Amino acid sequence: MRPRSITGPVILIAIGCFFLFRNVWPDIRVYEFFSMYWPFLLIGWGVVRLIEILVWYATGKPLPGRGVSGGEWSLVVLLCVFGTFFFWGSKWSPSWPSRQIRVGGLEIFGEPFEFPMSAEKPAGKTPRVVVEMGRGNAKIIGGDTESVRVSGRKTIRSFDKRGAEQSNVDTPLEIVAVGEQLIIRTNQDKLSDTQRASVELEITVPKGAKLESRGRYGDFDIRDLLGDVEINSDNAGVRVQNIGGNLRVDLKKSDIIRAIGVKGAVELRGRGHDVELESIDGTVTVTGGYTGEILFRNIAKPLRFEGERTQFRVEKASGFARMASGNLTLDNVQGPIQVTAKSRDVQVRSFSGSLDMKVDRGDVEIRPSSLNPGRIDAQISNGDVDLVLPQGAKYDIDAVTARGDLRNDFGVPLRQDREGKGGSVRGTTGVGPQIRVKTGRGAVSVRRVGSESPANILPKTLPKAPEVPARVEQ
């Protein structure tokens, strides 16, 4: 009997696992995961074939002339092409401390050579400043000056000093006035791909400046400006503090965006890992794919979050809205509130105003405050609902589960009925807004504040925001 390879079935199993994984943990970005880890598929495949051949050999079965057939090779090439494509497409990588490893005491990219940089140009009181840089970090601070001052250093990796000096000459630091704009340019794009220069800039601009920065890879740290700030980058960490105007951040990828104290509107787009916005006086709009810990605190105007699988909006957040690891918590927020989530546990606590909620899969906790009660409408396809009402709240309650347990700790005014596998808790506690809660599958409980079990009291203190890792070397 000619042995048959097990590769086919193994690949089928792998594809099955892939989609299972996607459905079970939808939060993990599978395509980015694939783009990062596809080489292990290749390794696994090779190992399977190797073991298979060794087993055939050990059992004395005839061996194939070639271990990997032409058809398989073309699949491998396809995999490599797609994998590389995805990898460069998403440019996603887990937070490695640095892309630089020391081997035998020598730098992989040659030795670093450092060159100081500085430039200055008068700018007036309210200039428009554009920063165009490649790889590197920039710290931009508004001050009581009427000129733009740049200082810092450039690090060039090279095998010899001569090459480094040439590269330094090729990438001059310029401040150019183009019409109204003042452009600060580091010219790193003039180097070829094999050379690498990164900059560390400290830029002082007049307080009233409007700022626009474009970078490729590196962090922006911007402070104390009265004008608008706009940041575009392929990959950046952004820290912004004390901005008088609007803030717009558009990143292909980021590992942190933190903004504290913005008077105008904040708009974030793109993809990123952690987001922290605090004390924003304008509206906040966040669109795109963000993972990790997302925290909004003290937002004075409407907050809108449009993620790929989770969307919510609140009219105002005196407290916070936090999204992390399959969880969305809104605490001390003001309605009208809207929440749509595909797969996420949702807690809405101490809120006022109305609440509209739609959750596909996930447990839900609804805990209105006694102030300004509003209409509540929650539709859950699959998950438990825990409705905790304040003492003396007046509502017209209709909580239904199609399949699952019922619990009524509220007491007498509410009536509990079993209907088939599900049931309902209905009743009126006084003349007040309506509560419509419905779950397709899961337990429904209606409780009064104070009657909850201690296990359900979650700590209200927030975890500290993670330290921003220093990204670019040195």
Partner 1 sequence: MNGTNNLSLMRAIRGPVMMITIGTLFALDHMSAFSFSRTWPVILIVIGLMKLLERAFPAPAQS
Partner 2 sequence: MDPENPLPPAANPEGEGSENKPVAFCRSCGKGLNKESVRTHREVVYCEEHLPKQEEASSQWSAPNPAPAPSIPSSGVSPGFAFVLGLIPGVGAIYNGQFGKAVVHLLITALVCSMAGGHSGSLETVFEMLVPVWFFYMAIEAYQTAKKRLAGEPLDEFSSIFPGQAAAPGFPLLPVLLIALGVIFLLDNLGLLRINQLIPYAGPIFLIVLGAYMLYARLRNHSAASEVSHERN
Contacting residues toward partner 2, per CB under 8 A = 2-5, 7-8, 11, 61-66, 69-72, 103-104, 106-110, 159, 192, 194-195
Query: Phi and psi at residue 91, in whole multiples of 5°?
Result: 45, 40
In one-letter notation, the amino acid at residue 308 is: E
Shortest Cβ distance from residue 61 to partner 2 (Å)?
A: 8
Q: Quick one: which of 47, 55, 176, 458 contacts partner 1 (CB under 8 A)?
A: 47
Q: Return the one option of partner 2, partner 1, none that residue 104 interacts with (CB less than 5 to 8 A, by type).
A: partner 2
Question: CA dist 461 to 39, 322, 454, 467, Å?
Answer: 42, 12, 16, 18
Distance in angstroms (rounded) separating the CA atoms of residues 177 and 333: 46
Closest Cα partner for 391 from 376, 378, 405, 409? Answer: 409
CA dihedral 292, 298, 299, 301 (to 10 degrees): 160
Nearer of residues 83 and 374 to partner 1, judged by Cβ: 83
Q: Return the one option of partner 2, partner 1, none that residue 410 interacts with (CB less than 5 to 8 A, by type).
A: none
Nearer of residues 12 and 63 to partner 1, judged by Cβ: 63
Nearer of residues 197 and 339 to partner 1, judged by Cβ: 197
Nearer of residues 5 and 416 to partner 2, judged by Cβ: 5
Q: Return the one option of partner 2, partner 1, none that residue 162 interacts with (CB less than 5 to 8 A, by type).
A: none
Residue 241 parent element (H or E): strand 229-243
Nearer of residues 38 and 300 to partner 1, judged by Cβ: 38
Q: Return the one option of partner 1, partner 2, none that residue 25 interacts with (CB less than 5 to 8 A, by type).
A: none
Question: How many CB atoms lie under 10 A from the CB of residue 78?
Answer: 10
Query: Phi and psi at residue 175, in whole multiples of 5°?
Result: -120, 115
Nearer of residues 69 and 298 to partner 2, judged by Cβ: 69
The residue count for binding partner 1 (CB under 8 A) is 39
Q: Return the one option of partner 1, partner 2, none that residue 31 interacts with (CB less than 5 to 8 A, by type).
A: none
Q: Residues 246, 222: contact at Cβ < 8 Å?
A: no
Question: How many CB atoms lie under 10 A from the CB of residue 156?
Answer: 27
Distance in angstroms (rounded) separating the CA atoms of residues 269 and 292: 16
Q: Residues 264, 245: contact at Cβ < 8 Å?
A: yes
Check binding of 5 to partner 1 (CB under 8 A). no
Q: Return the one option of partner 1, partner 2, none that residue 455 interacts with (CB less than 5 to 8 A, by type).
A: none
Nearer of residues 7 and 338 to partner 2, judged by Cβ: 7
Residues 6+ away with beta carbon under 8 Å from 246: 228, 229, 262, 264, 265, 266, 267, 282
Check binding of 218 to partner 1 (CB under 8 A). no
Shortest Cβ distance from residue 64 to partner 2 (Å)?
A: 4
Distance in angstroms (rounded) separating the CA atoms of residues 4 and 368: 63
Residues 6+ away with beta carbon under 8 Å from 412: none
Q: Quick one: which of 20, 43, 81, 458 contacts partner 1 (CB under 8 A)?
A: 43
Check binding of 296 to partner 1 (CB under 8 A). no
Contacts with partner 1, 248-277, as mask; x by CB under 8 A: ------------------------------
Q: Quick one: which of 13, 80, 371, 462 contacts partner 1 (CB under 8 A)?
A: 80
Residue 32 parent element (H or E): helix 30-58
State both tokens at 99. Answer: 């892309």
Between residue 59 and residue 78, which ones bind partner 1 under the rule CB under 8 A? Answer: 63-69, 72-73, 76
Residue 417 CA to its chain's centroid (Å): 43
Shortest Cβ distance from residue 16 to partner 2 (Å)?
A: 16
Counting every residue written for the chain, the total comes to 474
Shortest Cβ distance from residue 253 to partner 1 (Å)?
A: 15
Check binding of 81 to partner 1 (CB under 8 A). no
Nearer of residues 71 and 116 to partner 1, judged by Cβ: 71
Question: CA dist 235 to 17, 203, 216, 219, 467, Å?
Answer: 31, 20, 6, 8, 18
Locus of tokens 């699952």: 404
Check binding of 159 to partner 1 (CB under 8 A). no
Q: Return the one option of partner 1, partner 2, none that residue 372 interacts with (CB less than 5 to 8 A, by type).
A: none
Residues interacting with partner 1, by CB under 8 A? 36-47, 49-50, 53-54, 57, 63-69, 72-73, 76, 80, 83-84, 87, 93-94, 96, 99-101, 108-109
